[in-house]
């Protein structure tokens, strides 16, 4: 099976600092792959390279069968992107945000209107179509971003920390939307996150990044069998230390004993 997303020995250097270091990874069609790691691990930079927003310094990246360096336009036609930052135009209505995106992708008028209605209904924003985006809550804006990313019918969806800063109820609603897209439509997805419960609920496989390197990869079951049920991440200076425990209880017991713990 040809991978939907493939990275081979990818490096990204900014100002003589290697922020992605020899990253090799393959995501299969229909898979949800989660990249987990602390701030500065290289997750967002990886997303930016995969979505043609940044050029890799070294290595090969293929998305939907196209080389991101030489065939960026073809890549962009096959992917949807939901970035961590809210990127909707606050002064346009919900419908106008969708309309603008559809025109940018040259979707014919009749189809564009049908698809806008379809995706706004899918994310539960049909009743807000004529409201300006600035009147929406944070969770609604994120749902609008997802609807917009789906409008041109991409085969691969990239989500960079899609639920960061959202309340638990809104986060769960977005999880359901993401999982339904994958299960019902077979959409391939790569998401980055800080939340263990997010990857546990959504992801078929998980990769853990630290300091630009992929230090672990596998299914949740495989990682638990290898390392145990619990994980504690400790920051030491600019580095992160990963401590694994056979059970969650032992991990929580260790965490409770730490004078400088952060939950």
- Which residues lie below 8 Å from residue 189, measured CB to CB, with a gap of 6+? 31, 32, 33, 156, 157, 158, 159, 178, 181, 182
Query: How would you class 16 by CB atoms within 10 Å of its CB: exposed for 0-12, middle for 13-18, buried for 19 or more?
Result: exposed
Query: How would you class 109 by CB atoms within 10 Å of its CB: exposed for 0-12, middle for 13-18, buried for 19 or more?
Result: exposed
Does 263 score more than 50 pLDDT?
Answer: no
Q: What is the DSSP string of 121-142?
A: HHTT-GGGTTSBGGGS-HHHHH
Together in a domain, 205 and 239? no
> Does 94 reside within a domain?
no
Percent of all residues in the chain with a pLDDT value above 70, rounded to a whole number: 91
- Please tell me the distance from the alpha carbon of residue 232 to that of residue 238, in angstroms, as a whole number: 16
Specify the 3-state DSSP secondary structure of 93: strand
> Does 195 reside within a domain?
yes
Together in a domain, 161 and 78? yes
**Section 204-224 average pLDDT:** 90
Angle at 213 between CA 77 and CA 230, to 5 degrees: 105
- Which residues lie below 8 Å from residue 184, measured CB to CB, with a gap of 6+? none
> Does 117 reside within a domain?
no
Together in a domain, 190 and 234? no
CA 162 to chain centre: 6
> Does 130 reside within a domain?
no
Together in a domain, 170 and 259? no
Domain containing residue 219: CATH number: 3.40.50.300
**Section 184-199 average pLDDT:** 88
The pLDDT assigned to 237 comes to 61
Question: What's the structural domain count of the chain?
Answer: 2
Domain range for 11 is: 5-89+156-227
The model carries a pTM of 0.84
């Amino acid at each position: 099976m040809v991978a939907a997303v493939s990275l081979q020995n990818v490096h990204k250097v900014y100002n003589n600092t290697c922020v992605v270091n020899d990253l090799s990874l393959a995501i299969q069609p229909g898979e949800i792959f989660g990249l987990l790691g602390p701030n500065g691990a290289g997750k967002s930079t990886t997303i930016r390279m995969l979505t043609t927003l940044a050029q890799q310094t070294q290595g090969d990246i293929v998305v939907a069968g196209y080389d991101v360096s030489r065939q960026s336009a073809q890549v962009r036609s096959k992917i949807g992107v939901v970035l961590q930052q809210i990127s909707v135009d606050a002064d346009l209505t919900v419908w106008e945000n969708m309309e603008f995106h559809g025109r940018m992708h040259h979707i014919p008028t009749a189809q564009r209107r049908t698809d806008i209605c379809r995706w706004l209904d899918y994310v539960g924003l049909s009743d807000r179509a004529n409201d300006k985006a600035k009147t929406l809550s944070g969770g609604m804006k994120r749902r609008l971003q997802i609807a917009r990313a789906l409008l041109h019918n991409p085969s691969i969806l990239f989500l960079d920390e899609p639920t960061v800063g959202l309340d638990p109820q809104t986060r769960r609603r977005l999880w359901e939307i993401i999982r339904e897209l994958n299960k019902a439509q077979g959409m391939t997805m790569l998401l980055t996150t800080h939340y263990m419960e997010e990857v546990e609920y959504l992801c078929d496989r998980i990769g853990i990044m630290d300091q630009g390197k992929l230090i672990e990869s596998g299914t949740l079951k495989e990682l638990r069998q290898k390392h145990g049920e619990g994980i504690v991440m400790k920051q030491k200076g600019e580095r992160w230390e990963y401590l694994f425990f056979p059970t969650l209880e032992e991990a929580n017991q260790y965490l409770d004993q730490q004078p400088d713990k952060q939950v």
